[in-house]
Structure 1
Amino acid sequence: MIRRSIVAKMTLTITALVLFVLAILYIALTQLFHNALFHSALKGTSGESLTALTNIAQWLFVLAGFGAVLLAAGLAMILSNQLTRPLVRMAAVTQSMISGTYNTKVAVSGEDEIARLGQSINGLAQNLEFLNTSRNQFLADISHELRTPLSYIHGYSEVLKEGLAQSEQDKDNYLEIIYEESGRIERLITNLFDLARAQEGSLQIELESTDVKRVVRKVVEHLRPFAATKNARLAIDIDVTHRLRVDALRLEQVVFNLVDNAVRYAPADGLVRVTAVEEGGILEIQVSDNGPGIPEEDLPHIFDRLYRVDKSRSRNSGGTGLGLAIVKQIAELHGGSVHAQSSLNHGTSIRVRIPAIKA
């Protein structure tokens, strides 16, 4: 229906233009012919001859006009089909996108409006395919992240309930595992909740006088035991001498997510360096590691929601692709920014910059 409508409109438009041109030609030729008749009459040509000549000319004009209209209509149909053919293909691609198939692309050639429309549709399909893949991967990851600790909690609580623990030490160990795994679930749910609030714009920043040095040291010391389990070393360098007005809770969350992420992907005997400096009303926090690095094609996406560079490794290390997305949201809520630099086999450095006036 859409195709027919476009063809009809284009056909009528072209036909109208042709008829307009023919009408102008007809008037002009008629005027010229009448002038010729006038001059012939002055020279003594008979009236019957002039009438016959006039009738023949008029019939020639009519036949020429009719032929021109048919020719114009045919050309209009051909041009319309050529113009609407890519639109029909685009309609088929968009219909496949509606049905959930995003890997079909529009063949694009040229630089006209239709070509740009095709490029836009291809870009939309690529984005939708990425979002769909990320969503499916995220659901699988979340299912795994919840299933693992819940299995531990269920298994060890059942052992305790049935009185199968061999000793008090075993009971304490089982309770410690249950406590740690429940904390893991709590952190996961908190991150999901914070990310959802940030997306809908309800995550608020509460600026307060904050001892930045204390916040950073607290997070680093809290993560040292975890780093030790990964055979990773933590180094810290803080050059902040004044209390600053920032959201202490969110700042702690930023540092925790950055350091936790770096430790998870650090190699054996790896080094994670945490630096914080305040200069010119800007607080800059940087976390660097000597890990495997991030491929160049993945680097622009590491702050996207649900994105994970190495899916299998992220699952094994406990990552969910939420930490860096939350860091970005918090930095932007402070009016700041976050940037990453990385190269394969040479580590990664993530830098957060936020405005922070002295308290």
Structure 2
Amino acid sequence: MTEFSDSLFKKLWLTVTTTILVTVLYSFLLSYIFYEKLYVDIVEESLIEEGYRLAGDYTGGPLTDELKDRVQWYNEKSESEVFLVSNPKELSACLPYAIDYETLIGKEERDQLLKGEPVIKSGFEERFGRKILAVAIPLLDNSRLEGIVYLYVPLAKISELTVDFSFLWLAGGVAFIIIAAFLGFKMLHKLTRPLAAMKEAAEKVSEGDYSVRVGIQSKDEIGQLAKAFNHMSESIQKEDEKKREFLADVSHELRTPLSYIKGYSEALEADMIKEPSEQKKYLKLINRESGRMVKLVSDLLDLSRLDADEYQLVKTPFPLAQLIEDFIAKYGPALNEKKISLKLDLDPEVIINGDEGRVEQIFQNIIDNSICYTESGGTISIKLSQHSYGTMVEIRDTGIGIPEEDISKLTDRFYRVNKARSRSDGGTGLGLAIVDKLVKLHDGKMEISSEPGKGTTIKLYFPSVHI
């Protein structure tokens, strides 16, 4: 695995952990602010309700000693400080602080009390030397302020509660961060493990080991990426095997004619062959093998261009029957030499859109095989007709036929049913591979059927042009 300091795993883990940490701290700050504010609001509301309950015992007129004693008794039982005064100035006598009317209850607040509204004071009170939350409830008699029920609590008590809350919150938050970081570590390690495996596998592939595969453990995007990597590695391995096999086949195919040419030419150069007839025979063999090499190189170039999609077709509409008639005329001498009869059944109305030169190359490779593998006195039939696909060309011979298990391999490069015979006849084993690719470039398809001893039938299907 890559060093932790440079790994994607580290970056993801730090990102997740930092996000969790920021979220927890932000949540704590919001919770602390809201908790304190809500708690202060609750205490404030409680003091107001408490003050109004006490004020409910006032029935008017000057404040009585009985009411003062009752409030004093309540003060001793209550958690808040409660006082009942007939004049705000009397508050200084009830508290251990020098205080006067102007500092505790101002003019605006007195006006508010005269309206029957409670006065709420929160914050640091210099005369008390502490933060307080205080409520003053007016006792009115016909719009006359006869007294005040004054309640307050030190905010220090509230802060103590919020400190406890904060401590618990932070302790829980730290525990959550540790657990989340640990679980995130495990989860991200599991998620990034296939990526690390793919990195190691990619390095092996780059070094030429195409057999490496990545273990797929999930069906998510990473699992799909691993599956795609395995498919790519498998495809590269297959292509590499094909390339090695192809190079081996090419080397083998070239080695045979080159060895013949070298041996025959050395024999002629050393005057080992005295008879003119034998010399002519050897020269003919040299010419045959050199022609075979030319055909092999030409076919290899065609296949290379087809594989690289560099084969540019120049398509034009043309009557296929005319092309077949003109093309097959070239095979007159070869057919006569082997006494092979030719039967044509061509529909002159069939027109296809294709490259005439490449279509002729298709027929040439097929007819070459038909003539090569049809014994003397046999027959080759070519039928051209309209078909639901568009156009069908059926080429049938009465040759030696092909075993059923070999038919599916006929379009493989250098594949021969009878290797010895193919070489003696000059075949390269590439003809049908080229035919298959050219037919597909014309949006067509090819079907091959055969029976040993009875012959072979090749059907070509092309889209037709309707005029």
Normalising by the smaller structure, the TM-score range is 0.7 to 0.9
- Partner of residue 182, structure 2: 74
Structure 1 residues 263 and 338, CA gap change in structure 2 (3 angstroms): farther
Q: 1:256 aligns with which of 349, 356, 364?
A: 364
Shift of 1:148: 0.8
SS at match of 2:393: strand
Give SS of 1:211's match: helix
Cα shift at 1:219: 4.9
For the Cα contact (< 8 Å) 2:351–2:465, is it kept in 1? yes
Higher alpha-carbon deviation: 340-349 or 204-213 = 340-349
Larger % of strand: which? 2
Q: Write out aligned runs for 1:121-132 (5 A).
A: 121-132=229-240
Paired residue for 2:327? 215
TM-score (norm 1): 0.76
Equivalent position SS for 2:219: coil
CA contact (8 A) 2:366 2:432 kept: yes
**1:17-62, Cα deviation, whole Å (9 max, x unpaired):** 4345533365246524543454356364553433322222222222
- Mapped pair 1:330 → 2:438: yes
Deviations 1:162-218 (A, max 9, x none): 332253332222122112111101111111222334435254447577431342464
Q: Which residue of 2 aligns with 1:153?
A: 261
Aligned counterpart in structure 2 of residue 87 of structure 1, from 179, 187, 195: 195
**One-letter code of the match for 1:337?**
G
Partner SS state of residue 92, structure 1? helix
User: Hey, what does 1:201 align to over in structure 2?
Assistant: 310
CA contact (8 A) 2:350 2:385 kept: no
CA distance in 1, matches of 2:288, 2:449: 32
Note the C-alpha offset of 1:102. Answer: 0.8
Question: Which residue among 334, 339, 343 is the counterpart of 2:446?
Answer: 339
CA distance in 2, matches of 1:321, 1:124: 29
Measured in 1, the distance between the counterparts of 2:367 and 2:162 equals: 97
- Greater relative contact order (Cα < 8 A, sep 6+): 1
Which residue pairs with 2:403 in the alignment? 292
Segments of 5+ residues of structure 1 without an aligned counterpart are none
Q: In terms of Rg, which structure is larger?
A: 2
Please report how far the alpha carbon of residue 5 of structure 1 lies from its aligned counterpart in structure 2 after TM superposition: 3.9
- Aligned pair count reads 345
Q: Residue 239 in 1 paired to residue 241 in 2?
A: no
Report deviation, 1:139.
1.2
Q: Return 81-90 or 21-30, whichever deviates more.
A: 21-30
Cα distance change of structure 1 residues 96 and 351 upon mapping to structure 2, 3 Å threshold: farther
Secondary structure of 1:164's counterpart equals: coil
Q: Is the 8 A contact 2:365 2:435 kept in 1?
A: yes
CA contact (8 A) 1:220 1:259 kept: no
Distance change in 2, residues 1:263/1:85 (3 Å): farther
The aligned counterpart of 2:113 is none
CA spacing shift, 1:236–1:116, aligned 2, 3 Å: farther
The offset of 1:251, in angstroms, is: 2.9
| Correspondence 1:1-359 to 2 at 5 A | 4-19=6-21, 21-22=23-24, 23-24=26-27, 27-28=30-31, 30-32=33-35, 34-40=37-43, 42=46, 44-45=79-80, 47=154, 48-198=156-306, 199-205=308-314, 210-216=322-328, 218-219=330-331, 222=334, 238-241=345-348, 247-260=355-368, 275-279=382-386, 282-287=390-395, 290-294=401-405, 303=411, 307=413, 317-318=422-423, 322-333=430-441, 335-340=442-447, 350-355=458-463
Alpha-carbon distance in 2 for matches of 1:65, 1:344: 81
Deviation of the 1:84 alpha carbon: 0.6
Note if contact 2:210-2:234 (Cα within 8 Å) is conserved in structure 1.
yes
Paired with 1:260 and 1:53, the residues of 2 have a C-alpha distance of 101
Amino acid in structure 2 at the alignment position of 1:117: L
The structure-2 alpha-carbon separation of the partners of 1:53 and 1:248, relative to structure 1 and needing over 3 Å to count, comes to closer
SS at match of 1:327: helix
Contact 2:35 2:162 (C-alpha < 8 Å) held by counterparts: no
Report the Cα distance in structure 1 between the residues aligned to 2:214 and 2:379, rounded to whole angstroms: 46
* Aligned Cα root-mean-square deviation (Å): 4.1
TM-score (norm 2): 0.61
Residues 40 and 158 of structure 2 are in contact (CA less than 8 Å); yes or no, is this contact kept in structure 1? yes
Greater percentage in helix: 1
Q: Please state how far the C-alpha of 1:97 moved relative to its aligned partner.
A: 0.9
The 3 A distance-change label for structure 1 pair 307 and 174 is closer
Unmatched 5+ stretches in structure 2: 48-78, 81-152
Deviations 1:283-308 (A, max 9, x none): 43345684123479x66xx65xx745
CA 1:8 to 1:315, structure 2 compared with 1: closer, same or farther past 3 Å?
farther
Contact kept, 8 Å, 1:235 with 1:274, in 2: the verdict is: yes
Q: 1:93: how far off?
A: 1.3
Whole-Å separation in 1 of the counterparts to 2:446 and 2:341: 21
